[in-house]
Amino acid sequence: MPVSAKEKIIVALDFPDRATAVASMKRFAGLLDRVKIGLQLFTAEGPDIVRIAHDLGFRVFLDLKFHDIPNTVRHAVASAGKLGVEMATVHALGSKEMLLAAAEEAASHGVSLLAVTLLTSMDPPQCEAVAIPLPIESQVLRLASLAAECGVPGVVASPLETASIRAALGSSLRIVTPGIRPPGSPADDQKRFLTPAQAIRAGADFLVVGRPITAAHDPLAAIAAINEELSSPEE
């Protein structure tokens, strides 16, 4: 702190098609450096949408959360690397062998790999239903540690878990946090969130922000407000 929205925000392009995504990217060009392309947009438009984002000057976080046998994930990471994405995700639950294969392949393609620990939509009853032991925070730390041991350079975590992951695993691990709500923004379906400044103070390197920007009445004003919050000295 202080930091800028341009260097810290990754805007989530959760859109149904290329036309809406491109219109948004054109508005954000110059104000933000990074976009996140996830399952909805990638499944609709394929790798072309990544190339378009690059052509418009953005760095791309490809958030497809790979979770499969090690050989399949290795080759999927290689394909992401050939697209030139900056960051990509795998599920830490995919096993040590899968993480090792993904980390090796990502490093050889210059992709900054991120491991998703437990989805922030998982609550204790949902974890028990799929045989994940409780408490959630211990499992998140265990999975983040496993990812780090396997050479995965970063994790995706809720901002509420960021400080404990940072304390346990040190400053070199990249932490990317969704679940960000600027002061006064609707929570939508996010249950566990912090403001941009709180998440940065907790130790996040990048903040994924979707609807507080993309669904705002004035997205550019929303970016300006986040920038103001991040660039103000700590209170």
CB of 134 to ligand C5P, least distance (A): 18
Query: Which of 209, 222, 223, 225 touches ligand C5P (CB under 6 A)?
Result: 209
Query: Which of 7, 123, 188, 218 touches ligand C5P (CB under 6 A)?
Result: 188
Using the rule CB under 6 A, is 211 a contact of ligand C5P? Answer: yes
Which residues between 56 and 75 bind ligand C5P (CB under 6 A)? none
Annotation says 8 is catalytic: no
Using the rule CB under 6 A, is 208 a contact of ligand C5P? Answer: yes
Residue 31 sits at φ, ψ, to 5 deg, of -95, -30
Which residues between 154 and 173 bind ligand C5P (CB under 6 A)? 156
Coil, strand or helix at 177: strand
- The residue annotated as part of the active site, out of 6, 8, 36, 65, is 65
Using the rule CB under 6 A, is 178 a contact of ligand C5P? Answer: yes
- Strand 34-38 versus strand 206-209 pairing type: unpaired
Is residue 50 within 8 A of residue 62, CB to CB? The reply is yes
Which residues between 95 and 124 bind ligand C5P (CB under 6 A)? 119-120
Question: How far apart are the C-alpha atoms of 159 and 219, rounded to whole Å?
Answer: 22
Query: Which of 9, 12, 111, 114 touches ligand C5P (CB under 6 A)?
Result: 12
Query: Residue number with the shortest CB distance to ligand C5P?
Result: 210
Q: Which is nearer to ligand C5P, 38 or 153 (CB)?
A: 38
Chain centroid to CA 53? 17
Is residue 85 within 8 A of residue 58, CB to CB? The reply is no
The residue among 106, 89, 105, 55 whose CA lies nearest residue 176 is 89
Query: Which of 5, 15, 37, 38 touches ligand C5P (CB under 6 A)?
Result: 38
The string of DSSP codes covering 82-103 is: HHT-SEEEEEGGG-HHHHHHHH
Question: How far apart are the C-alpha atoms of 202 and 49, rounded to whole Å?
Answer: 33
CB of 190 to ligand C5P, least distance (A): 5
Using the rule CB under 6 A, is 5 a contact of ligand C5P? Answer: no
Neighbours of 186 (CB within 10 A): 10
Site residues for ligand C5P per CB under 6 A: 12, 14, 38, 119-120, 156, 178-179, 188, 190, 208-212
